[in-house]
Amino acid sequence: MKSGLILTSAILAASVLASACGNTKEAVQPSAVASTPVPSAAPAAPAVDYTQAIDQYRTYVIEQCNAYVKATGEFTAAIKAGDLEKSKELYAPARMYYERIEPIAESLGDLDPAMDAREGDVEEKDWRGFHRIEKGLWMDGKTHGQEGYADQLLSDSKLLRAKVETVEIDSTLLLTGAVELLNEVSSTKVTGEEERYSRTDLYDIAANVEGARKIFDVLKTEVEKKDAELARTIDGRFNNLFKVMEPYKKGSGYVLYTDLTQDQTKKLSQAVDALAEPLSQMGKKLGA
């Protein structure tokens, strides 16, 4: 009953907001200067115009969200159909859309824990979302009993889709978001704590890095203007990190976390830290 209500309002919100957004998008371009968000601590240097970057990024977030809702729908449908193998197969790819835009979801209050909390992050009675289902699928080896969590997850994902239309994306969120994505990798993903049952951590890692890359891409021109050397360094380290990830691709996905040797994990982790360090300088350069 409760989830049904949320779902209905989510769909309503999504449709209302979607049309509103369409209007805004076109309106923004001509009046770009007037609506430029001003960084809270205004620097002495000329303020960077983030309008275009934010607009591009919002488009990306909405694309990812659309794909996320679709993939989550297929994943949860497989669970409700009782298809264990298919559920397991669809689990990690569905998460990737979410992991690419995680800082946005985290800024939306309780949605992140509702969908992405790991065991022990929240009280047992409140624990739901991907990892709850992950435990059921891999540990208990069955879809039965996960149907309720599947419903909740799908409705939460739709709520996220609705909310991203109006989420305030400012320069700070953009600048810190890229580093936060990599922090996620180096704090819990490269240690294998995120996907403790499915061992699909490399999907999350790849998605986090891709999400960070997207943010850098939309800001790259501005970073180049301020500090071309820094932009080159960040670019080079992203490329290096993708190179480090390359051997772990398998089909359209990735090998299991447990397939990596300790040395390989360490190399991956250190490549992430090597990238995150200059990336964290981006904010200072852009005066956010």
In the complex, the smallest distance separating the C-beta of residue 62 from other proteins, rounded to whole angstroms, is: 27
Residue 15 binding other proteins, by CB under 8 A: no
Nearest residue (CB) to other proteins, 252 versus 262:
262
Residue 250 binding other proteins, by CB under 8 A: no
Span interacting with other proteins, options 49-57, 75-83, 198-206, 261-269, rule CB under 8 A: 261-269
Q: What is the sign, positive or negative, of the torsion defined by CA atoms of 61, 129, 210, 222?
A: positive
Residue 43 binding other proteins, by CB under 8 A: no
Is 116 within 8 Å of 39 (Cβ atoms)?
no
CA distances from 288 to 31, 41, 62 (A): 22, 7, 24
3-state secondary structure 106-155: HCCCCHHHHHHCCECCECHHHCCCHHHHHHHHHHHCCCCCCHHHHHHHHH
* Residue 135 DSSP one-character state: I
By C-alpha distance, which of 203, 99, 226 is closest to 157? 99
Residue 269 binding other proteins, by CB under 8 A: yes
Options 63, 74, 110, 121; binder of other proteins; rule CB under 8 A: 121
Return the amino acid letter for 194: E
Nearest residue (CB) to other proteins, 10 versus 282:
282
Residue 262 binding other proteins, by CB under 8 A: yes
In the complex, the smallest distance separating the C-beta of residue 262 from other proteins, rounded to whole angstroms, is: 6
Coil/strand/helix, residue 93 = helix
Span interacting with other proteins, options 60-68, 150-158, 197-205, 267-275, rule CB under 8 A: 267-275
Residue in the block written with tokens 């149907």: 147
By C-alpha distance, which of 283, 213, 282, 204 is closest to 241? 213
Q: How many chain residues touch other proteins (CB under 8 A)?
A: 25
Nearest residue (CB) to other proteins, 156 versus 194:
194
Tell me the two tokens of residue 279.
């990336």
Q: Which residues pair with 254 in a beta bridge?
A: 249
Residue 270 binding other proteins, by CB under 8 A: yes
Cα torsion 161, 166, 169, 170 to 10°: value is -170
In the complex, the smallest distance separating the C-beta of residue 16 from other proteins, rounded to whole angstroms, is: 29
Q: Interface residues for other proteins in 148-187 (CB under 8 A)?
A: 176, 179, 183, 186-187
Summarize the chain as % helix, strand, coil (round to 5).
75, 0, 25
Residue 258 binding other proteins, by CB under 8 A: no
Residue 264 binding other proteins, by CB under 8 A: no
| Count of other CB atoms within 10 angstroms of residue 229 | 9
Options 63, 74, 140, 193; binder of other proteins; rule CB under 8 A: 193
In the complex, the smallest distance separating the C-beta of residue 232 from other proteins, rounded to whole angstroms, is: 19
**Binding stretches for other proteins (CB under 8 A):** 120-123, 176, 179, 183, 186-187, 190-193, 262, 265-267, 269-270, 273, 276-277, 279-280, 283
